[in-house]
Amino acid sequence: MGESVRVCATSELVPGTARRFDIDGHRVAVVRIGESFYAIGDRCSHADYSLSEGDIDPDDMTIECPKHGSTFSLETGEPQTLPATLPVPTYEVEVHGDDVVVVLP
């Protein structure tokens, strides 16, 4: 079981947006789609670029790297398009009341 860290209030993330958090050496993008929250490594595996600055596709459940256009699954971290070929980490997210909590490994 990992360490649970509160990152923000649910009201701080508008649906369809992402926000970067630096948590104990982990760069994490927390994404809100509707009432669901996802946490994914914020560093593109192709180039060291922030995924939290990219576009989110709520239908495909992906986030796009704004540098070269690779998309990553919010659920698995697997790249969905080139040029990225390696996955990025994903993290468990829990919502406790109005608190968004990321579980670190």
Model confidence, pTM:
0.95
Average pLDDT over residues 63-83: 97
3-state SS class at 19: strand
Q: What tokens were used for 76?
A: 């698995």
Measured distance CA(84)–CA(104) in Å, rounded? 24
Confidence tier at 1 by pLDDT (50, 70, 90): low
Contact 28, 42 (CB under 8 A): yes
The full set of domain ranges for the chain reads 3-104
Per-residue pLDDT tens over the stretch 9-67: 999 999 999 999 999 899 999 999 999 999 999 999 999 899 999 999 999 999 999 99
In terms of DSSP bridges, do strands 36-41 and 62-64 run parallel, antiparallel, or are they unpaired? unpaired
Q: How is domain 3-104 classified at the CATH fold level?
A: Rieske Iron-sulfur Protein (2.102.10)
